[in-house]
Amino acid sequence: MEIIGYFASLLIGISLGLIGGGGSILTVPVLVYLFGINPILATAYSLFIVGASSLVGAFPKYKQGLVNLKTAIIFGIPSIISVYATRKLIVPLIPTDIFQIGDLMITKSILMMVLFAILMVAASISMIRGNCENCGKEGSEDQEIKAQTFNYPVILLEGSVVGLLTGLVGAGGGFLIIPALVVLSKLPMKQAVGTSLLIIAMKSLIGFTGDLGHQIIDWPLLLTITGLAIAGIFIGDKFSKNVDNDKLKRGFGWFVLIMGIYILIQQLAFPLK
């Protein structure tokens, strides 16, 4: 199963390179089901893998001028604070046994996986439906950049909520960040994608440090999986010009939807201990 897990780690990066997002949503299931890692620890590992992969992916976007640093800072600060506080303070306080429904005991691990499955379903719907109607229309980029404004209260709230979700389930949350940047910060779609990568990298890596005092990290395994995911990004990026991204994203979205439903059923009917 570990060999399959290493191959899946490479596929996570390839999907990120091909469609610019979505692959990180599979990181926790790969860690849990293929590497046999406890779901709580898997969310911590996922933060590091997602953060490092997104950081690598952000570099070429920055060179192309597709990263808005001001927006990344304004949106990123509340998100970083929220994800770090969640990993450092909230997650350790969640009891091992939370509540019982009939014969089913809802444990901390089950809760984490159910939350993650719900997030997978939400992300899959976003990928299947495609981008929002006004995202990055051709010929409007210069106008959007000049007219950029910041709804600070809403951005602070959105950043905090995304940070909380990231801290709980270990996913990057790009499918939440990108629409927020387009709608709330008036960014063109291409800039929103590049900027989101930098935000995801910052909040995920800093959030991971909140686990260092609570979890025992298998660094050789974690660095190996991360290295494969990063290698996959370059492979996916190389072939991205020859692939219909919209069709690929929708197909991947259906796959994520099926996986999310499977995890929900598996956790509620045959939960991992």
Residues 6 or more apart whose Cβ sits within 8 Å of residue 118: 260, 264
What's the pLDDT tens digit per position in 256-267?
Answer: 888 889 888 888
Distances (CA, A) of 256 to 5, 37, 89: 17, 20, 30
The answer, yes or no, to whether residue 7 has pLDDT greater than 50, is yes
Give the side-chain half-sphere CA count within 13 A for 61. Answer: 23
Give the side-chain half-sphere CA count within 13 A for 167. Answer: 28
What's the pLDDT tens digit per position in 165-222?
Answer: 888 877 767 767 877 787 777 788 778 888 888 888 888 898 898 888 778 899 999 9
Give the side-chain half-sphere CA count within 13 A for 181. Answer: 35
Name the pLDDT band for 149 (thresholds 50, 70, 90): low
**Which stretch, 8-17, 33-42, 96-105, has highest mean pLDDT?**
33-42
Q: pTM of the full predicted structure?
A: 0.77
Question: How far does Cα 97 stand from its chain's mean position?
Answer: 27
Instruction: Report strand pairing: 104-107 vs 97-101.
Output: antiparallel
Bridge partner residues of 105 (DSSP)? 100
Among candidate residues 105, 37, 60, 55, the one with its CA nearest the CA of residue 267: 105
pLDDT for 31: 92
Average pLDDT of span 60-72: 87
The answer, yes or no, to whether residue 227 has pLDDT greater than 90, is yes
Average pLDDT of span 40-44: 88
